Structure 1
Amino acid sequence: MTDVASFTSPLTITTGGTVWFTGLPSAGKSTLSRAVADRLPTGRIELLDGDEVRQTLSAGLGFSRADREANIDRIGFVADLLARNGVLVFAAVISPFRDAREQVRRRHQASGTPFVEVHVATPVEECAERDVKGLYAKQREGEIKGLTGVDDVYEPPPTPELRLDTRDNTVDDSADAVVALLCEKGMLR
């Protein structure tokens, strides 16, 4: 893997592409995607945060399997569209279903656009301890049902380009690992 510290000049985005961060709620997807973006020059970068997208592009969708798949498909469409036009897209989305994530990958392959899947593999116990949005507490109290990874399915990717357990890495170390991977893939230099 390329050592990020070996770069003496600022990083340059060489091509558009999508980095798809998947993982449980409170795993650190949004935090990590922002940390990676912060290491790059401003300009051709977009962050598609799952929570923000649900309020706009996917407003009106619920949390049934069909609605979750539609949400992933919409985000995947926008990510591919931006990436085909030279933008480096960071999509931080729970995206619990393997087949829906694979459909996003196939869409990118069909357009010849780079796609990298990063599994933020934080265990559910750690996510529940962080509980950034209070979802795990609400689920324990019976206020919500269908929490991904607790009482609803999360299908971890079997072969992501990068798997990070954020318990064992700082945000900086994890972001450095993503940047190094993007350099290896030729998306950055």
Structure 2
Amino acid sequence: MNEAVSLSRHSIRPYPLLLSSEERAALKSQTPRCLWLTGLSGAGKSTLANALELQLNRQGLHTFVLDGDNLRAGLCRDLGMGAQCRRENIRRTAEVARLMVDAGLIVIVAAISPFRADREAARRLFADAEFIEVFVSTPFAVCAQRDPKGLYRAAREGRIKDFTGIDSPYEAPLQAECEIDTHALEMAEACLRLTALLLKK
């Protein structure tokens, strides 16, 4: 079995495409980027991603949001919540984001993505300046109070395991390109900051 798998992988050679990512982006008159929003559950990542996409769309930019829950409902629905499954979840998310950037899109990823090593592995898939890490740094107490899906309560009651911030760690970024606290900053201002960051990059 291992030999068959090895032979199969050995036979895979990425096919060179005639149309470059630069040509795809030029058709859209924009610079493709991956904006990666990371933070605790309840930090406001999905809300921020959707508000930002709406604003960018109104400016005529071509975008797509890769939301962690949406991906877990489809592409990653076979994965659990343990550390290894979380790593695979982020690997798949990053690969999809890279393909979308190659297509010329501005991709906004909203995923807890708790481990630094996984986020750094995602960054390495992209060219310089294509990947922008945004730490949605809303404090734990605020996230737990919001608890939009009742997950903090369930984790504290022992009804779910490996919950980030309770019995599974969250490793905050050390050098994120941007930090947004949705408790301290209005959503409109947060979107303006991220839009300015994208245009600057």
**Which residue of structure 1 aligns with residue 114 of structure 2?**
96
**Shift of residue 44 of structure 1?**
2.1
Whose Rg is larger? Answer: 2
Q: CA distance change for structure 1 residues 161 and 73 in 2, over 3 Å: closer, same or farther?
A: same
**Shift of residue 113 of structure 1?**
6.9
**Which residue of structure 2 aligns with residue 3 of structure 1?**
none
Structure 2 counterpart SS, 1:86: coil
Equivalent-residue separation in structure 1 for 2:170 and 2:117 (angstroms)? 11
Q: Which of 31, 39, 42 lines up with 1:26 in the alignment?
A: 42
Structure 2 counterpart SS, 1:89: strand
Between the aligned residues of both structures, percent identity stands at 42
**Which residue of structure 1 aligns with residue 77 of structure 2?**
59
Decide whether the 8 Å contact of 1:83 with 1:113 is kept in 2: no
**Which residue of structure 2 aligns with residue 44 of structure 1?**
62
Q: How do residues 13-162 of structure 1 correspond to structure 2 at under 5 angstroms?
A: 14-41=30-57, 44-109=62-127, 114-162=130-178
Structure 2: state its 5+ residue gaps: 1-27
* 4+ aligned runs moved over 3 Å, structure 1: none
Equivalent-residue separation in structure 1 for 2:194 and 2:98 (angstroms)? 19
Structure 1 counterpart SS, 2:77: coil
Find out whether 1:164 has 2:180 as its counterpart.
yes
Deviations 1:41-87 (A, max 9, x none): 26621110000101111111001111000000000000001101101
Structure 1: state its 5+ residue gaps: 1-11
Give the alignment's Cα RMSD to 1 decimal: 1.5
Amino acid aligned to 2:132? V
Higher relative contact order (CA 8 A, sep 6+): 1
Aligned residues between the structures = 172
Equivalent-residue separation in structure 2 for 1:158 and 1:72 (angstroms)? 18
The alignment's TM-score, normalised by the length of structure 1, stands at 0.87
